[in-house]
Amino acid sequence: MLSLHEDPFHADLYGGRLTIDVEAIAKNWLFLKGKLTGDTECAAAVKADAYGTGQAPAGQALFNAGCRTFFVAVPTEAISLRQTLPDATIYALNGLLPGTSDHYLENDIRPVLGSLEEVRDWIDLCKSAGRSFDAAVHVDTGIHRLGLSPDEFSATLSDADLMGPFVPSLLMSHLACGSTPDHAMNKRQLDLFRTITAPYAHIQRSLANSAGVLMGPEYHFDLVRPGISLYGGQAIDDTPNPMTPVAKVEARIMIVRNVPAGDTIGYGAMHTAKRTLRNAVVAAGYADGMLRRAGSTDERPGGFAMIEGHKAPILGRISMDMITLDVTDIPDHLVKRGAFVEMLGPNVAAADLAAYAETIDYEYLTSLGQRFHRVYGPLT
């Protein structure tokens, strides 16, 4: 495997490596696109550095696979992506901050207008130019974050004098409970979105994130915008994850040592050895995105790593730069100084680690450390 960008350091100087398979990202996009019918477009969310996988390589792989519309969070992400994808349609989800309109126009970026003030600012811009500039309008159907209220949305879009030349390029909303498809909130949001956007069916409409894509055609409308599923994450709780893993984190073993029964391990003396243990200390920690909450105590188990098909439980607290693993029952020849241990990847799903850390796999993926040697290629 080759590093996508020139690296000033030798690979052996890193405590670990992060392997990213952008072809797997493209494969996941094609899988989701295959769930759609008719003319529904499959876009892609590449915010937060494409969920930690690298915005430029992930975006290029998605574009090569056929994706033409992309969503980021903030304008700086959008402008950066424009350098990689000059011909793509790019939306910035976090809307229009004061004084930024010119930057959107100069870089052909479409803001997702999420408040009445933003919509009015964009309308004024269109009126002053005597033409419509592309932008999405976000309507809040119940999540109570960004978005016009339903009353604001209906009153604004139906007022021809107010709208002037502005015609939105997209109408959208966002599901609050997509990870639990049976939640009544999903149907309420779907019904409200369908009703209030019905007079504007000539404008592209979007409701579905990753979970919405998997929930079925009634949520798809004209455009879907998956995120976590593209990166191998689990969009719907308590069901098998159909997506292909795209990232693998491996950390090097620094030392292997014995711990007598009754001794404690790590900061805070939180984990007591119930028997004589053999542990391995690896060069990864919460500064590398291995979340501290996944450590173990005497009251609760922690997460785990994998060594050549063998599970190695985490012992004690995860510290900034290192993690201690129980390798007592793993053959000696597999546990050597300098050997790599899989901390996250095909055999250690981010969703599994997230359960130990009482969080979601989004946090793991977007926290992938900058201290690893980053390479792009197959995970095997």
- Catalytic (active-site) positions: 47, 267
| Matching residue, tokens 């072809």 | 23
Would you say 156 and 187 are in contact if contact means Cβ atoms under 8 Å apart? no
- The tokens describing 33, both together, are 């696109």
How far lies 189's CA from each of 143, 150, 177, 203, 273, in Å?
9, 11, 10, 19, 51
CA 67 to chain centre: 17
DSSP state of 59: H
Cα separation, 148 vs 349, in Å, equals 37
Q: Are strands 277-282 and 323-326 parallel, antiparallel or unpaired?
A: antiparallel
Separation CA 194–CA 218 (nearest Å): 10
Helices marked H in 179-305 — which ranges? Answer: 184-197, 210-215
Reported residue count of the chain is: 380
Pair 328, 278: CB distance under 8 Å: yes
